[in-house]
Structure 1
Amino acid sequence: MLNRFLITLCVLFNSSLFYAQSLDESYTILNVEPSKTDARIANSNTPHLIMYNQKQKQGKLLLFLPGTGGIATKGPKQLFAVAVQQGYHVINLSYINRPAVAQICKGENLAKNRKCTEEFRTRRIYGTNKFDFIGDASYDAIENRFTKLLIYLAKNDKNTNWSAYLEDGKPKWSEIAVSGQSQGGGMAAFIAKTKKVARVIDFSGGWDYSAKNKIADWYFYESVTPSHLWYGTYHATEPKAKTIHETYEALNIPKDHIYAFDLPVPEGKRGHSNGVRNIGYAPQWIELLGSGD
């Protein structure tokens, strides 16, 4: 069964009430274990998180991919609430996110294969190639998990038309915006290179290399998704901020679509994840998301 629960969100911005809304019975949050959608899946079987407002006109779908070690149900719900406010349905996908690209494609592995990161991401997203350094099965791939979840929701959740995001049994990418943080942001960017998505928002999305101090070749490949639909963010305090900015330039993201966040980072927290967690960026989130209608 689909688990439903209500949340109430009240946040402060610049010492005034910027965004406050009770997510009443019209809002739905679902938790679905990947194995419920595909019995072959056993690894990284923590639930997907789904969020939408059934009283709104159904708009586009925002697919969000967590970073390394990220748990979908613990994702940035304030960001997702803003996305729902903008007209989106939201899926925070549970997928295998350990080990990370940067943990595998380095040193000798990278020296022997300059396409290491490209092959890694292809395996983790699509499961269509052979890549011996990670144990992801083909059915563990992001695309399969996402597809099977949409099919499951179309069958089991009649409050909305999940079939609108499917076409011939595959994701209808033109109706789907892709986003993610860190490793997940890199996955979103990689998807948008080869699938024409509705929008792509990369939050501090990785720093793939093809050789020492040389960003990966795949960043420079021609993109199927037009450049005006690309957005990228990072925090100015991140150790890899300069490299992330370099990857965004290689991805041909317009200058005014690159956001260098700089609000103070709370003590004990990291700038790397601040962009999806700090409600102070709500005005920027709205710009990044645009209208999901």
Structure 2
Amino acid sequence: MINKLILLIAVVLFHNYSFGQSGYQFPENYTILNIEPAKTDSRIKEANTPHLVVYNQQAKQGKLLLFLPGTGGIAAKGPKALFSVAVSQGYQVINLSYINTPAVAQICRGEVLEKNSKCTSQFRTMRIYGNNNFSLIDDQEHDAIVNRLTKLLTYLAENDTKGNWGSYLENGEPKWSEIAVSGQSQGGGMAAFIAKEHLVARVIDFSGGWDYSRKKEIAGWYFNKSVTPSNLWYGTYHVTEPAAKVIEASYVAMGIPKDHIYPFDLPVPKGKKGHSNGVRNIGYADQWIALLGKGN
């Protein structure tokens, strides 16, 4: 059953926003924060558009949902209806602002990929951790996703005590067991990469990319053993996406259970793309609830 909150969101979006979310307003009892990355770490200069933080301080605190936008995505313009559903499910939400251009698919291709079959994993390691030598992107160590998340959580713990953000940190690092990782497109791939190497609370990959080791061969990192068990993995894609078959193959390679893979198939509004429809179309509210589970 769709609860009253989800139904209200659906009605508002359907009648007023035609499945777009630029005008969507969060419920009044939600706390909404927009925080520039440079405020949390003065070294950060690139991709300094604000992180989006959303939670309901009146609710029992649950897990953190870390969402990573796709290529060119702006955190403050993220899929707010999806985030509202996540908060209603008991999560506190961070849509993280990070360097998301160029994308891995724009760098690890052609001759570059022919010379280096591990290009995509090295790219993602640099963008997530910033601790390897990968010269094909200009990201600095302090620009890395994990540093941005750590510094944001530290900042929130000091400046927004009502959110109890310190519970998502352990020894000055993200407490991954309390964090569900998610993202769309490039961001979904980043979430999956993190979940391979850390025991996270849950991973939800929305159309998470199509990394290759060589032409027509999906990337080797998809087959790496995962620290996060398979029952906590979920993946979605839209059946109209050009890369739908490749995305599905990557999910199978990562060991996502068949009933945890969601091939979305609702009609895509004119002028929109199936690739982003899974995080934007409120018609998937029931599926979002199943993907998220209970955060608290």
Instruction: Write the distance in 1 (CA, Å) between the matches of 2:163 and 2:253.
Output: 38
Q: What residue is the counterpart of 1:258 in the other structure?
A: 261
1:187 to 190, 195, 199: 190
Q: What residue is the counterpart of 1:78 in the other structure?
A: 81
Task: State whether structure 2 residue 48 is matched by structure 1 residue 49.
Answer: no
Q: What residue is the counterpart of 1:144 in the other structure?
A: 147
Instruction: Write the distance in 2 (CA, Å) between the matches of 1:277 and 1:201.
Output: 15
Give the alignment of 1:29-178 within 5 angstroms. 29-178=32-181
TM-score normalized with structure 2 length = 0.93
Whether contact under 8 Å (2:192, 2:205) holds in the other structure is yes
Instruction: Write the distance in 2 (CA, Å) between the matches of 1:272 and 1:234.
Output: 7
Instruction: Write the distance in 1 (CA, Å) between the matches of 2:26 and 2:282.
Output: 16
Q: What residue is the counterpart of 2:27 in the other structure?
A: 23
**Which runs of no fewer than 5 residues in structure 2 stay unpaired?**
1-7, 16-24
Instruction: Write the distance in 2 (CA, Å) between the matches of 1:267 and 1:105.
Output: 31
1:248 to 230, 246, 251: 251
Instruction: Write the distance in 1 (CA, Å) between the matches of 2:209 and 2:292.
Output: 20
The one-letter code sitting in structure 1 at the alignment partner of 2:190 is M
Q: What residue is the counterpart of 2:9 in the other structure?
A: 10
* SS in structure 2 at match of 1:10: helix
The one-letter code sitting in structure 1 at the alignment partner of 2:254 is L
2:233 to 224, 227, 230: 230
* SS in structure 2 at match of 1:159: helix
CA deviation after TM superposition for structure 1 residue 247, in Å? 0.2
**Which runs of no fewer than 5 residues in structure 1 stay unpaired?**
1-8
Instruction: Write the distance in 2 (CA, Å) between the matches of 1:148 and 1:80.
Output: 22
CA deviation after TM superposition for structure 1 residue 12, in Å? 2.5
CA deviation after TM superposition for structure 1 residue 23, in Å? 1.4
Instruction: Write the distance in 1 (CA, Å) between the matches of 2:210 and 2:227.
Output: 21
* SS in structure 1 at match of 2:163: coil
Whether contact under 8 Å (2:9, 2:81) holds in the other structure is no
* SS in structure 1 at match of 2:283: helix
Instruction: Write the distance in 2 (CA, Å) between the matches of 1:22 and 1:144.
Output: 28
Instruction: Write the distance in 2 (CA, Å) between the matches of 1:221 and 1:10.
Output: 39
The one-letter code sitting in structure 1 at the alignment partner of 2:168 is Y
Q: What residue is the counterpart of 1:6 in the other structure?
A: none
Instruction: Write the distance in 2 (CA, Å) between the matches of 1:138 and 1:72.
Output: 20
Task: State whether structure 2 residue 292 is matched by structure 1 residue 289.
Answer: yes
Instruction: Write the distance in 2 (CA, Å) between the matches of 1:287 and 1:217.
Output: 29
List, as ranges, runs of 4+ consecutive aligned residues in structure 1 with deviation greater than 4 Å: none
Question: CA-to-partner distance for each residue in 1:119-151, whole Å, 9 max, x for gaps?
Answer: 000000000100000000000000000000000
CA deviation after TM superposition for structure 1 residue 22, in Å? 7.1
Q: What residue is the counterpart of 1:273 in the other structure?
A: 276
Question: CA-to-partner distance for each residue in 1:143-182, whole Å, 9 max, x for gaps?
Answer: 0000000000000002120000000000000000000000
1:221 to 199, 207, 224: 224
Q: What residue is the counterpart of 1:4 in the other structure?
A: none
Query: Whose helix fraction is larger, Structure 1's or Structure 2's?
Result: 2
The one-letter code sitting in structure 2 at the alignment partner of 1:143 is V
Instruction: Write the distance in 1 (CA, Å) between the matches of 2:208 and 2:9.
Output: 28
* SS in structure 1 at match of 2:139: coil
RMSD over aligned CA atoms reads 1.7
Instruction: Write the distance in 1 (CA, Å) between the matches of 2:52 and 2:192.
Output: 21
CA deviation after TM superposition for structure 1 residue 10, in Å? 3.3
The one-letter code sitting in structure 1 at the alignment partner of 2:238 is H
* SS in structure 2 at match of 1:11: helix
Instruction: Write the distance in 2 (CA, Å) between the matches of 1:160 and 1:106.
Output: 42
Query: Whose strand fraction is larger, Structure 1's or Structure 2's?
Result: 1
